[in-house]
Structure 1
Amino acid sequence: MSLLKAVVEQLDIALTQAELYNQSRSKTRELETTLKKLKRTQTQMIQNEKMSSLGQLVAGVAHEINNPVSFIYGNLSHAKEYTQNLFNLIDLYQTHYPNPHPEIQEEIEAIELEFLQEDLPKLFNSMKVGANRIEDIVKSLRNFSRLDEAEQKQANLHEGIDSTLTILYNRINRRDHLPAIEIVKNYGNLPEVECYPGELNQVFINIISNAIDAIEEKDAKRTTEQIKLEPSLIEISTKVVGKFVQICIRDNGPGIPPEVKERLFDPFFTTKEVGKGTGLGLSISYEIVVEKHSGSLKCNSNPGKGTEFVMKIPMKLIPFQ
């Protein structure tokens, strides 16, 4: 009987320990889930504060630039018209007075009047092109910040992508004497999408910036001749897939190792040097696409084969489950 009693006591202890172990495992899982939620909340708070400040700064800069540019652009056509009127008047004088006073003839030669009449319209045209470029940049800055669009609305995703490319123009085209990165756009016929446009613009700039970083890493080990033979490129494709719109952003950079790819969307995970990356960009992008828009965001990549990010956004916003 004593032996049986001892066995029962040991079984009771074992069962108690097993129960405590199961409870411990359950609590551990709960703590891990809570920790992940806290990390995501922390990243979102950081990003919200950062983007709010950035949005206010961008909107302010865009407004301050837009006023003088509008003044310049609005007066260019008048200046060109007035100049042409003066040229017409000079032509009339030359027609009716073909032999001007020697002093006038000397001044005509000194200012190279014939060249001036030919070149000045070209100068006005180049000024107009520059003013148009500034207007496009201002429009892109406003479109990117979208401070007035914190709520969901119907939006043209191609406009958001194009604005992102305009903002990243220098990184794409001016690369310390290296050839520009080729941008290939294969846009499908997308309808307007019910979404949070400003937040999706964050996703576009995060992914395209990462693609540029990857290409720069690869091109740092290549000569100009090698880059010309195998150009660096970023391809952006869009299409409708069922009730979703699909955006693919692909680069021909060095690709991502499997062990890095597994942690790509983890908060604060980065392979960049200190000061060059926070590890928040892709984590926040994942949250915006998956949790805020009930979509999906996946990465396809192999070392040496480049990287492709594929996101799907429902055309009509539905609550995240």
Structure 2
Amino acid sequence: MTPDKIGLVLVIDDSSTNLELLYDILTEVGYEVLLAKQGKKGIELAQSHPVDLILLDVIMPELDGFQTCKLLQTTPETHHIPIIFMTGISDNLEKAKGLGLGAVDYITKPFYKEEVLARIKIHIKLRRLTRELIHEKESLEQRVEERTAELSQILAELQQTQLQLVRGEKLSSIGQLVAGVAHEIKNPLGFIAGNIDLATEAVDHLIEYVELYRSQFPNTGEEIQRKGVEIDIEYLLKDLPKMLASMKVGTDRICNLSTSLGTFCRSDTSVKVLADIHEGLDSTLMILQHRLKPTPHRREIKIVKNYGKIPPVHCYLGQLNQVFMNIISNGIDALEEVLGNSAFPENFGPQITINTQLSTDQQQIMIQIADNGQGMTPEVKSQIFDYLFTTKPVGKGTGLGLSISLQIIKEAHNGNLICYSELGKGTVFEIQIPINDSPAIAG
């Protein structure tokens, strides 16, 4: 297409008079025009040229407009080209048939020059905006895939490094590693949020354009009015910007989650800090939220929080959060195993309950994390805190989580970690942390 052309329009009509008239109307304002007197010839031209719009007569010999439209819509090279039917018939059923075949509009004969140009202009504009949005979407998806692959590699390396650190009891470095992951997450989020802003601007321009068209052509005709009702155009014009705004809120929420991830594993392992235990629990639950949501294979895992009135305590909150993560993750694993067991009733409601309270003597904080899974046998229960012991399949569990958790509670906090479990009755982990334990240096 030469630079002075504003679009390539293919006109298919068996009438030479109509072809000449439309050619003059369109070329006068700058459109490039292809002409075909038969449906078959029109299809060939559409397949071999970068056509922006097709004007298609309904009544033609051999292939009529409806048959031609159907072939164009089912051919990969042409199915995306918008088609406007031209007809002298005012039968609504015939028009509905054409729209059902994939046409985007109708022009009624005899032609009204301003109407023809207005309809062509808006549909070419809509098609180009659609192509731009599709291109942006494909480009964004490609960049997200590339960045996701990079992050997956980084995460795999970090997980391997983290395992080595845990085995060496160097938990103080885990916070720095996870903070790095949190930082990396913000990079792809940045360009996603930026593209949402661009898409929002494009939609605003499109809405402004449609409103201008409606103000200039208030009598849009019965077909356009009916189509507007069918697609609920008023709802789209009002709520599409809200949808994009919701997507923006979602990206902001992920940014907040990234910040929570950094807080979750913050590097406070050298000195105890005065911390709110409930804040640590909520941070852990937020990070694990994706594992609690329903999936196509299982229902949602419900979280019940019975938080009591407890004071802040001096602790290594980053390390305690690791303990919360280990225990809650194990509870989720146990419930997923139950949900995959056909022996359990279909109405089984998976649930994790978290209770916090002061001990009877007011000297300790008691944190109970319970699941209503299938529980453990006495033999398994007696080994759960053993180093490298795990009941999970190879590659899914390392056998380090609970043994390290016990070390964190006992050695770093002078507390205790107890497990209560009975086969068929679920499992409860109780964490006991002294309130008045003096600040110390982590070993």
The one of 337, 356, 364 aligned to 1:238: 356
The one of 26, 41, 46 aligned to 2:167: 46
Once the two structures are superposed, residues 115-159 of structure 1 have per-residue CA deviations (whole angstroms, 9 ceiling, x without a partner) of 432222321332133123302321221122213554311112122
**What is the Cα-based RMSD across aligned positions, in Å?**
3.8
Aligned counterparts, 1:20-35, within 5 A: none
Q: CA deviation at 1:83?
A: 7.4
In the alignment, what sits opposite 2:334? 214
Answering whether residue 321 of structure 2 is matched by residue 201 of structure 1, we say yes
SS of 1:267's equivalent in the other structure is coil
Change (3 A) 1:157 1:73: farther
Code of the aligned partner of 1:303? L
Once the two structures are superposed, residues 241-273 of structure 1 have per-residue CA deviations (whole angstroms, 9 ceiling, x without a partner) of 212211100001111111222222222222223
Change (3 A) 1:208 1:90: same
- Identity in percent: 47
Q: CA deviation at 1:230?
A: 2.1
Aligned counterparts, 1:217-296, within 5 A: 217-222=337-342, 226-227=345-346, 229-241=347-359, 242-296=362-416
Aligned counterparts, 1:41-120, within 5 A: 46=167, 48-49=169-170, 52=173, 54-66=174-186, 69=189, 99=218, 114-120=234-240
Code of the aligned partner of 1:117? L
Question: How far, CA to CA, are the matches of 2:208 and 2:185 in structure 1?
Answer: 35
SS of 1:271's equivalent in the other structure is coil
Would you say the 8 A contact 1:173–1:180 is kept in 2? Answer: yes
SS of 2:271's equivalent in the other structure is coil
In the alignment, what sits opposite 2:277? 157
Question: How far, CA to CA, are the matches of 1:199 and 1:146 in structure 2?
Answer: 9
Question: How far, CA to CA, are the matches of 1:75 and 1:217 in structure 2?
Answer: 40
Question: How far, CA to CA, are the matches of 2:238 and 2:283 in structure 1?
Answer: 36
The one of 125, 140, 157 aligned to 2:260: 140
Which consecutive unaligned segments of at least 5 residues does structure 1 have? 1-42
Answering whether residue 417 of structure 2 is matched by residue 301 of structure 1, we say no
Code of the aligned partner of 1:317? D
Would you say the 8 A contact 1:255–1:307 is kept in 2? Answer: yes
Change (3 A) 1:157 1:77: farther
Computing the radius of gyration from Cα coordinates, the structure with the larger value is 2
Question: How far, CA to CA, are the matches of 2:340 and 2:167 in structure 1?
Answer: 32
Q: CA deviation at 1:71?
A: 7.6
Which consecutive unaligned segments of at least 5 residues does structure 2 have? 1-163
Once the two structures are superposed, residues 18-76 of structure 1 have per-residue CA deviations (whole angstroms, 9 ceiling, x without a partner) of xxxxxxxxxxxxxxxxxxxxxxxxx9861544773x53332112123335646876997
Q: CA deviation at 1:285?
A: 0.8
Change (3 A) 1:57 1:87: same
Code of the aligned partner of 1:286? L
In the alignment, what sits opposite 1:13? none
Change (3 A) 1:178 1:85: same
Question: How far, CA to CA, are the matches of 2:295 and 2:205 in structure 1?
Answer: 43
Question: How far, CA to CA, are the matches of 1:147 and 1:239 in structure 2?
Answer: 27
More helix by share: 1
Change (3 A) 1:268 1:65: closer
